[in-house]
Structure 1
């Protein structure tokens, strides 16, 4: 595609990015449905995008479509990625970025039993900032500063003489250790992930905070469920529930989705369905648009229940679960967390593959794999390999061969 043609330049200059998409799609000889399948969107969503004219656009959706069509981001009004080179520059960049990311959450962390104005609030804000950076930063670049941050929190706790303040710092350390576990999981280092999650559970217990302990045990259960250890995940979910002093809708809904994934890992479809239905009921009791309660960082909603059903459908080989849940996952697919979107795209690709739609499956999987390689996400790349193993043919079509070339060149 020649991006300097008069029609492209005029559409870009006028802010008619939908027309740019239509021109690029036509040049690529793709239908709206094919582009939608490859981008994780419906045909009607592509149609609406192309007909928006100079109106405002959902930048996340626009970026996904532009990425698949190889449209230079500047042409559709999106900033190019900032490149940071060298370990020292990267550390300095991440420190500055963490401070920037913390700015909007400062006012949201009000003093409570978990914080005070001296040490705990700042370290918790730093953890939250690093967690938000995870959505747009390779885990391998974040893990070192997060580990250094955790060491700082642990040193502060060891030197604290006041019991209440030491407990608050232990809770803050638990959050930081949990983030280190999440980053290790993303890198594909499951041994380190389990170690860090174990550290987070120990610190939460040391803090005497039952809700935080339940959250960290649930996080460990989530890891085990996703890696196929269903029985262990179910045992951990049961332990997590025992920590709760009273029923809490967000905790109930979240743990039920993990329970469903654990049942799916052992092939128990009926039990998984019951857990997902219960999770949906619990989510209905959550206040709309209300900020999530600590220690949850991001809101829990029906879109996340749908994403869990989609993942369960992949593990159970139930294509109807995948197809019915796909539309409800749009808020996750248009979120700012690219690595999470990539994992969900791979689940949707599994559904296309099971239905025999090879072009849509592997075009979507390629988009997800490119994200995984860009962020050096071992978890995403391994999921892409799982998808490829599910398709067997001695004469794979071109779209599969191109996917294979990209996958074979993956060196994380």
Structure 2
């Protein structure tokens, strides 16, 4: 979004002064739309846009008098901070990513939205796992599962069980890893093709995404046979170029564990090519 477009948005919002909830809804929908572009657009270009929208959303939330509007603003801020954290991680700005994830969890709790809180805790756990603090990640996963309502959509269950497995794999706990992957498989099997995710920030979950978690968990557990058995499904072309590249790099690791170094190098180059449009520092460093 250009500066001119942002100015137009501010003018439009000023015309909604009588309805803070409408302003919040507009800003949340714009941030969600930017989130949908993340898979193919460089993170640095998106981060500046999101920061400006969060500035507007924060101001609207501070002016809101109704508790319901304040909770809606907190939800939007949590979503936005979670997105900024992901973008900062993609740019390898680790300190910023950590601060944004903490802000996302804080605002989710303030919103009193239990699914949002569980999602942000789970997302923070994924980041913490890959930052090398696996025991803290497991603790965050416990908090996420405790925050989740008893009746929860299978898409959310499949995602959270998969992230749980990732945390346990990083902590070198294979029994818990495979148990949660099995639970994720059962939840994924219950998701119908025509099921829409229950919340805009929960992406559709399917067998290919689950295979990606299995691949990466098996690599973390130093089990190349299990990793390569999931690799074909996990590395099918995806719209999200950076995640596709990271799955390819996990396959690279599995080949290297098998001492198949030529194949490992070939797949690594394919991963860099797949993520070239995003110029993801996270992918480049991993490669």
| Residues 1:358 and 2:268 are matched in the alignment | no
Q: State whether residues 169 and 177 of structure 2, in contact with CA within 8 Å, keep that contact through their aligned partners in structure 1.
A: yes
Alignment partner of 1:232 out of 93, 112, 136: 136
Match of 1:338 in 2: 241
Distance 2:96 2:210 in 1: 28
| Greater share of residues in helix | 2
Larger Cα-atom Rg: 1
Deviations 1:18-56 (A, max 9, x none): xxxxxxxxxxxxxxxxxxxxxxxxxxxxxxxxxxxxxxx
Alignment partner of 1:308 out of 213, 221, 225: 213
Match of 2:38 in 1: 134
Q: TM-score, normalised by structure 1?
A: 0.63
Deviation at 1:214, TM superposition (A): 1.0
Give the 5 Å matches for 1:2-401.
92=2, 118-248=22-152, 249-330=154-235, 333-372=236-275, 374-384=277-287
Distance 2:279 2:160 in 1: 29
Distance 1:356 1:368 in 2: 19
CA separation of 1:300 and 1:95: change in aligned 2, threshold 3 A: farther
Distance 1:117 1:205 in 2: 19
Deviations 1:204-253 (A, max 9, x none): 11112111111111110111122332111111111111112213222322
Residue aligned with 1:270, SS: helix
Distance 1:174 1:362 in 2: 39
Deviation at 1:287, TM superposition (A): 2.3
Deviations 1:255-290 (A, max 9, x none): 211111111112222221111111111211222231
Equivalent residue pairs, number: 275
CA separation of 1:219 and 1:352: change in aligned 2, threshold 3 A: same
CA separation of 1:139 and 1:219: change in aligned 2, threshold 3 A: same
Q: Which has the higher contact order (CA 8 A, sep 6+)?
A: 2
Distance 1:381 1:195 in 2: 23
Q: Which runs of 5+ in 1 are unaligned?
A: 1-90, 100-115, 385-412
More off after superposition, 354-363 vs 271-280 = 354-363
Match of 1:105 in 2: none
Residue aligned with 2:165, SS: helix
Distance 1:290 1:339 in 2: 25
Residue aligned with 1:213, SS: helix
Residue aligned with 1:323, SS: helix
Deviation at 1:143, TM superposition (A): 1.0
Deviation at 1:178, TM superposition (A): 0.6
Distance 2:192 2:23 in 1: 31
Match of 1:63 in 2: none
Q: State whether residues 372 and 378 of structure 1, in contact with CA within 8 Å, keep that contact through their aligned partners in structure 2.
A: no
Q: TM-score, normalised by structure 2?
A: 0.88
CA separation of 1:137 and 1:157: change in aligned 2, threshold 3 A: same
Distance 1:337 1:383 in 2: 17
Distance 1:94 1:263 in 2: 47
Q: State whether residues 134 and 167 of structure 2, in contact with CA within 8 Å, keep that contact through their aligned partners in structure 1.
A: yes
Match of 2:17 in 1: none
Q: State whether residues 140 and 376 of structure 1, in contact with CA within 8 Å, keep that contact through their aligned partners in structure 2.
A: no
Q: Which runs of 5+ in 2 are unaligned?
A: 10-19
Q: State whether residues 40 and 277 of structure 2, in contact with CA within 8 Å, keep that contact through their aligned partners in structure 1.
A: no
